[in-house]
Chain A
Amino acid sequence: MSLTHPIFGIVRGLAFVVALAGLGLTVALVVLERTWDAENRPMATDAEAFVLGSIGTELAPVVAFETLPELFPDEFHPIDAFLKSQGVADRSAGDWIDQFGFIRQTQAPNPRGDMQLPVGFVVSRHRPGSGAGSPIPFVGLSCAACHSGEVRLDPDRPRTAHYGIGNATMNLLAFSEALRGLLVRRVDDSDPKSEYRLTLQAIVDVQAKRGRTLTMWEKTFTALWIRGARAEAGGYRNVIDEPYPPQRLFDPRFMMAGPNRTQPFRSLVRIHLDRPGWSDRGHRMDQGFSKVPAVYHQDPEYHGEWAQFDGSVNDLTARSTLAASTAGGNVHNLSRPDIASHILGAAEYTRRLAPPKWDDTFPEHALTAEQRALAAGAGAEAYRKHCGHCHGEPAGAGWTWDKQSPKNLFGAVLPLSAIGTDPERVEFRHANEVSREVAEKFGAGFRKNHPLATFKWDADPSRTNLRSTGGYYCGPIAGTFLRAPYLHNASVLTLAELVGLEPRRAKFYRGRNGYDPVKVGLASPDVPANVDRNNPKPRDRNHYFVFDTAERGNSNRGHRYPAWGHFHDDEPAKLTDAQKAELRALIEYLKTI
């Protein structure tokens, strides 16, 4: 058959039509994609940016996320799974919002009636990773997911949350491990060749039971998300390991961070260097746990030049960008106008954000006139004597420090040898390398005039805004009573223990602790002698995470001020009545700042 045969002409003609149609669809798709971004608008206010604005941390399509608790009941009830695995009979710890310690929308300072997701969960039209526009909504996170907290006097009685404090109940690492785990979980856990449990069809089926039919876009983008997220989970598995099963997510032998803490440098090393995150002190994993901090008074006028517990970042925008990067933010999605504006707005919101007053937080324990007098007199004096030269002092709604005093250490980094707190957070491998990599990645990745392009790295400490310090930063402590548990690794439950009035507990329970308004901090039942880091048997649904300070990264030593309150590591000081009175006055004062 010759090439001039009519059949070739017909085939060519059909192919031409198909190709033309494909080209038309391509043009239509490109034009359509521009409209998907239309809903991604910057929040109107800085407060909204902090609470409602996506920061490039889109997790999953809404249609998929809604079905996860049903498809993965174990992953979304990990406390129950842990209690069951340890033979502890207790009521359920609640739904997934309770179990992972997020804040229910009803407890938000300004609840959104149209939102079923917890505080700090947002819905955007950004795709994960690139942040490109999406025809379907995705669930993501805002700053408020971590930096909001509910302080309950009784663990079972909800109270209104506060923006700006670290969420003491949230277990972010367990949540992210659960999400990673469900992506690679098989129908038959014992057969690695069996089908994945999370499939488009499984999602479609669950939604169908609810009477919801997925649209063509929802199916397409959910399928693409599953494939991409699974590939990413596979890459993570190659660097870290297989995700833990549900019953280990809250077991401190495996997921050692527990509530309120993250492993920021392990995350940075993993994300930016694609390495597992080892300690610099030996052949072992880094266990540099870090409390999710309060974010009050972030302006340098109040906070000093540097920030983070180790004083490693000195630019407010860079700080927020860096925080977002540990949860999924990258140069692509952070370059999006609305996401960039949320980072800037949220940072701006925290500049002068001040904590609520004690009396407003606990009206049932409002300070008496006697307590106020004690705080203003002996308490303030004790603070100036023992704390002020490192932590500064309140100044109206803001914060200040004595810049002329030769004893002033505010804004300085105390070396480990001086402060003596747990070293893990500042002794991780590649400390300098990761600073440089982050600064260069974000410095080169953003356009020159992009508002988030504030990273700069230099070997000269005076010309860099990212550094590795090897010590801990002396910064402001506004809202001290809301910052429990104390120290950078959340290893001291109360102010009474921190200042030396009470011995620091070697073991305690974490979870949904109640608040102790007398010792000022979190309450915990005593931990039985036979329960420790090797046998971390949970107590109940609210007290499940045994925090053993003998564990690496959990040390509660150091920061022993006043020194006479802590004369021995294992034995509490024998305080005189006058010393006890001084410390009680100090605690009263700390309630007021």
Chain B
Amino acid sequence: MNPVPRFATFANVFIPFASLLTGANLCAEAGINPVPAALAGDPHLKGLLAGNPTFARVMYSIWITFLFATPAVGLFLLFDIRRAAPVVHRYWLLLWSFGFVAYAIHSYFATVVWFESDFAQIVERQSLPVVIVNYVLLAAWGVEVVASVALGQGGGGVWLHRLQWFTHLLFLAAAIVAAVVFYHSGTTPKAGFSLLLGVALIAFAAFAIVGRIFWREPASGQ
């Protein structure tokens, strides 16, 4: 089997990432709700009179985080990523890394632009446990991505693998709680879309776990 060229793999993940981020920013700027009308149920495109573009960026960037991290979590749970085929590892790492980039962008717009780095206000609005989880995830995810990229597949030993498990499970738990519990009562299209992303994440994770348990050779991905 021919190895997948590095540029092709990178481009396959980067192109949708860059396109989605560009589209999300333009939608936020122009006040366009990117959720399709069928999902949104809102025929009005309020343009400049729509909600705050900064808040839209906060929301759309977390959606992009979900879109990239969800398949990464699925791959991570399905395979032993240390021993998986290089192509699996590469896609996992790219998806997980761009998911992190989206999450970092989300955190920047939320913390620095929306809350103007007013941490007391962030704690007031989000509660201390949520704030701690958010920033621990940001830090751990960042360290893990840098280490995973730098050390390559199988590098870093046990500590990196434990860190990978920690960040994936923390993301999974935090994302499910955020999407399913926090938005559970939401009736707006945006809340509905967040719920959908949460459900998709649960489905991916459940499928991967079931696959890992019952699939005889999940670790290699061959």
Mark A residues whose CB is within 8 Å of B.
4, 9, 12-13, 15-16, 19-20, 22-23, 25-26, 29-30, 33, 127-130, 132, 221, 224-229, 231-232, 234-235, 332, 447-449
Are B8 and A19 neighbours in the complex by a CB distance under 8 Å?
Answer: no
Q: Say whether chain A's binding surface is mostly helix, strand, loop, or mixed.
A: helix
Are A231 and B44 neighbours in the complex by a CB distance under 8 Å?
Answer: yes
Are A449 and B118 neighbours in the complex by a CB distance under 8 Å?
Answer: yes
Are A19 and B15 neighbours in the complex by a CB distance under 8 Å?
Answer: yes
Chain A residue, CB-CB nearest to B12: A12
Q: In the complex, A164 Cα to B182 Cα: how many Å? A: 47
Q: Which residues of B contact A25 (CB under 8 A)?
A: 22
Q: Say whether chain B's binding surface is mostly helix, strand, loop, or mixed.
A: helix
With A19-B22, A129-B48 known as contacts, the answer to whether A224 contacts B30 (CB < 8 A) is yes
With A20-B18, A332-B51 known as contacts, the answer to whether A231 contacts B45 (CB < 8 A) is yes
Judge if B120 is at the interface, Cβ distance under 8 Å: yes
With A130-B50, A231-B45 known as contacts, the answer to whether A449 contacts B121 (CB < 8 A) is yes
B:98-126 near A, CB below 8 Å: 115, 118, 120-121, 124
With A25-B22, A231-B47 known as contacts, the answer to whether A132 contacts B15 (CB < 8 A) is no
Are B25 and A224 neighbours in the complex by a CB distance under 8 Å?
Answer: no
Q: Which residues of A contact B118 (CB under 8 A)?
A: 447, 449
Chain B residue, CB-CB nearest to A222: B48
Which residue of B11, B50, B120 contacts A448 across the interface (Cβ within 8 Å)?
Answer: B120
Q: In the complex, A23 Cα to B20 Cα: how many Å? A: 9
- Interface mask (B22-63 → A, CB under 8 Å = 1, otherwise 0): 100110011100000000000011111111111100000000
Are B8 and A231 neighbours in the complex by a CB distance under 8 Å?
Answer: no
CB distance from B156 to the nearest CB of A (A): 29
Q: Which residues of A contact B121 (CB under 8 A)?
A: 447-449
Are B8 and A23 neighbours in the complex by a CB distance under 8 Å?
Answer: no
Q: In the complex, A392 Cα to B151 Cα: how many Å? A: 80
Are A228 and B47 neighbours in the complex by a CB distance under 8 Å?
Answer: yes
Judge if B21 is at the interface, Cβ distance under 8 Å: yes
Which residue of B11, B15, B17, B31 contacts A228 across the interface (Cβ within 8 Å)?
Answer: B31
Q: Which residues of A contact B124 (CB under 8 A)?
A: 448
Are A22 and B18 neighbours in the complex by a CB distance under 8 Å?
Answer: yes
Q: Which residues of B contact A30 (CB under 8 A)?
A: 25
Are A15 and B11 neighbours in the complex by a CB distance under 8 Å?
Answer: yes
Are A13 and B11 neighbours in the complex by a CB distance under 8 Å?
Answer: yes
CB distance from A203 to the nearest CB of B (A): 15
CB distance from B77 to the nearest CB of A (A): 27
Judge if B14 is at the interface, Cβ distance under 8 Å: yes
CB distance from B170 to the nearest CB of A (A): 28
Are A228 and B22 neighbours in the complex by a CB distance under 8 Å?
Answer: no
Are B15 and A130 neighbours in the complex by a CB distance under 8 Å?
Answer: no
Q: Which residues of B contact A228 (CB under 8 A)?
A: 31, 45-50
Judge if B222 is at the interface, Cβ distance under 8 Å: no
Are A225 and B51 neighbours in the complex by a CB distance under 8 Å?
Answer: no
Q: In the complex, A30 Cα to B109 Cα: how many Å? A: 11
CB distance from B80 to the nearest CB of A (A): 27
Mark B residues whose CB is within 8 Å of A.
2, 8, 11-12, 14-15, 17-19, 21-22, 25-26, 29-31, 44-55, 115, 118, 120-121, 124
CB distance from B41 to the nearest CB of A (A): 14
Q: Which residues of A contact B29 (CB under 8 A)?
A: 29, 33
Q: In the complex, A226 Cα to B31 Cα: how many Å? A: 12
With A231-B44, A448-B120 known as contacts, the answer to whether A132 contacts B18 (CB < 8 A) is no
Q: Which residues of A contact B45 (CB under 8 A)?
A: 227-228, 231
Are B22 and A23 neighbours in the complex by a CB distance under 8 Å?
Answer: yes
Q: In the complex, A449 Cα to B119 Cα: how many Å? A: 12
Are B52 and A332 neighbours in the complex by a CB distance under 8 Å?
Answer: yes
Q: In the complex, A29 Cα to B26 Cα: how many Å? A: 9
Given A12-B8, A33-B29, A447-B121, 7 extra CB contacts under 8 A: A12-B15, A19-B14, A19-B22, A23-B18, A23-B21, A228-B49, A448-B124
Are B11 and A129 neighbours in the complex by a CB distance under 8 Å?
Answer: no
Q: Which residues of A contact B50 (CB under 8 A)?
A: 129-130, 228
Q: In the complex, A492 Cα to B199 Cα: how many Å? A: 64
Q: In the complex, A23 Cα to B22 Cα: how many Å? A: 6
Q: Which residues of A contact B52 (CB under 8 A)?
A: 130, 132, 332
Residue from A30, A128, A226, A332 having most chain B Cβ neighbours under 10 A:
A30
Are A128 and B22 neighbours in the complex by a CB distance under 8 Å?
Answer: no
Q: In the complex, A129 Cα to B51 Cα: how many Å? A: 7
Q: Which residues of B contact A26 (CB under 8 A)?
A: 21-22, 25-26
Q: List 22 A-B contacts (CB under 8 A).
A: A16-B11, A19-B18, A22-B18, A22-B21, A22-B22, A23-B18, A23-B21, A25-B22, A29-B29, A30-B25, A128-B48, A130-B48, A132-B52, A226-B47, A227-B46, A227-B47, A232-B44, A234-B44, A332-B51, A332-B52, A448-B121, A449-B120
Q: Which residues of B contact A235 (CB under 8 A)?
A: 44
CB distance from A23 to the nearest CB of B (A): 4
With A19-B22, A26-B22 known as contacts, the answer to whether A232 contacts B15 (CB < 8 A) is no
CB distance from A308 to the nearest CB of B (A): 28
Q: In the complex, A303 Cα to B135 Cα: how many Å? A: 49
Nearest first, the 8 closest Cβ-Cβ pairs linking A and B are: A228-B47, A19-B18, A228-B49, A22-B22, A129-B49, A231-B44, A227-B47, A23-B18
Q: In the complex, A231 Cα to B30 Cα: how many Å? A: 13
Q: Which residues of B contact A4 (CB under 8 A)?
A: 2
Are B14 and A16 neighbours in the complex by a CB distance under 8 Å?
Answer: yes
Chain A residue, CB-CB nearest to B30: A224
Q: In the complex, A232 Cα to B121 Cα: how many Å? A: 31
Q: Which residues of B contact A225 (CB under 8 A)?
A: 47-49
Q: In the complex, A128 Cα to B49 Cα: how many Å? A: 6
CB distance from B109 to the nearest CB of A (A): 9
Chain B residue, CB-CB nearest to A138: B48
Chain A residue, CB-CB nearest to B56: A130
CB distance from B107 to the nearest CB of A (A): 15
Are A130 and B53 neighbours in the complex by a CB distance under 8 Å?
Answer: yes
